[in-house]
Amino acid sequence: MIVLLIVVALKLIKILNKIDKIADNVEEKINTFDGALSVLKSASDGIASITDTLVFSITSLISKLFGKLKNSNKEEEIDE
């Protein structure tokens, strides 16, 4: 009986070692994936910053244009 328990314990130890190796492999792959995601996040932040600046510039240009048109329409109404 004791011999059977020892054999089962040794097999369980081997199984646990295999599981530990698999867990280490998965952790290594996840860390690699995290590095790739970090690069993608930095790139998307840069693109978002550029597009925000571009949109702000275009909207301010359009608002200035409409502001000038609005002022010229008021001047025409005053002249009449």
Residue 14 lies in a domain: no
For residue 70, tell me if it sits in a domain: yes
Within-domain flag for 15: no
Residue 35 included in any domain: no
> Quick check: is 62 in a domain?
yes
pLDDT digits (tens, 9 = 90+) for 3-46: 999 999 999 999 999 999 999 999 999 988 888 888 889 999 99
Q: Give, in order, the Cα–Cα distances in Å from 29 to each of 16, 21, 32, 57.
A: 20, 12, 5, 42
Q: Which domain holds residue 51?
A: 45-75
- Say if 63 falls within a structural domain: yes
What's the structural domain count of the chain? Answer: 1
- Residue 72 confidence (pLDDT): 64
Does some domain include residue 37? no
Please, which pLDDT band fits residue 75 given cuts at 50, 70 and 90?
A: low
Within-domain flag for 9: no
